[in-house]
Amino acid sequence: MPLPAKAAPRVPESLRDLPPVPQEWGRTSVVLAGSNGEGDAIPLTSVSNTVWPGILIQPGATGLDMPLYQLFSDESPNLDGSIFRSTRASAREIMIPVFLYGVDRPTVNSLKRKLFQALNPRNGYCAIRFTEWSGETRQLAAYYKGGMEGAEGDTAGFTWAKYALNFTAMDPYFYPLSPRSIKWSFGTGDPLLSDSKNLFPMEISEGVLGGDGEPLIIENPGDVEAWPVWDLRGPIRSFQLTSSSGATIKASPPGDSSDLIPAGRTLTIDTRPGRKTVRDDRGTNYWERLDTNPEFWPVAPGSTDALITVVTGSGKSAITLLFHPRYASFI
């Protein structure tokens, strides 16, 4: 026997879920600059009609989102499968199809020569810059490797040509044009003996004593960890930079009670892979002055808790943190 079906209750129109309203968003602009990004900028998205000659990116570009990862594992004769050990992002392979349009033969030849000079890897890498409608620009450093050899027929004509430009980005990540910078100041730098104050009662600033350290939160908007560059401006007698995991970069005070970093000097600790240097602004190597086994720690994506402890000398010191957020894609 059929069962009677009960009608669903009527939902007032005002309570029904409304579909999301699309946000107005313009097109992404793409610019290519050779000679390590210092050459003339060649726009790839600015041609709007056939009146003006230019170079226009075509649909079908590949390799512009998440990079390829290489996995490392071990195998055991007594276990099924493999044991994951580590992973790393591989160099990024990119293909960008472009269309060259000239109003006449000399114009298209001029566009070709402009690209020839910009793409030549002997002149350095090409900076490929993507700017979203919001105005945020991210760039990738990539070396041209092929695709502009040319072929008559369907890929070229008297006033036009099509190429599939192939690049390799040794560093697979996209970067903003400017680094993020955070600065902290420490101590008042009041001397022990003063012409304007009595010796007693004696006053010593917390910055000279070092205190318990300055907790801070570092915001990294990128998709992966970023390796910072620390600039420490003297006078500083000792310092300690500690991450939330306990990794520490530390330098104890000299045995003769002098300043580790004299006034007016700046020590730069570059933690980036392939660099990892500890030098001041005069080129003096401070590596041996760090405490044993320093751990150069990265800034994880999102919020990172850290602790800065600084013992200042007779003067006001400062620490500046700089890092370039790294993005998996240009978006």
* 296: Cβ contacts below 8 Å, ≥ 6 apart: 227, 247, 249, 269, 271, 276
**Residue 68 confidence (pLDDT) above 80:** yes
Stretch 23-51: mean pLDDT, rounded? Answer: 84
| % pLDDT > 90, the chain | 60
Identify the CA nearest to 203 among candidates 195, 191, 211. Answer: 191
Banded pLDDT at 192 (limits 50, 70, 90): very low
3-state secondary structure string, 264-305?
A: CCEEEEECCCCCCEEEECCCCECHHHCCCCCCCCCECCEEEE
Confidence (pTM):
0.81
Look-up: residue for tokens 């129109």?
Answer: 13
In this predicted structure, which of 49-53, 184-188, 298-302, 304-308 has the lowest mean pLDDT? 49-53
Stretch 16-34: mean pLDDT, rounded? Answer: 83
Q: What is the DSSP string of 71-94?
A: EEEEE-TTSSSEEEEEEEEPPEEE
Domains in the chain (CATH in brackets) are 29-176 (2.40.30.200), 180-323 (2.60.120.860)
Look-up: residue for tokens 């790294």?
Answer: 326
Q: What count of other Cβ atoms lies within 10 Å of the Cβ of residue 166?
A: 18
Identify the CA nearest to 70 among candidates 86, 52, 49, 54. Answer: 86
* 27: Cβ contacts below 8 Å, ≥ 6 apart: 45, 133
Please give the residue that has the higher pLDDT: either 168 or 102.
168
Mean pLDDT score across all residues of the chain = 85
Stretch 184-210: mean pLDDT, rounded? Answer: 49
Stretch 235-246: mean pLDDT, rounded? Answer: 92
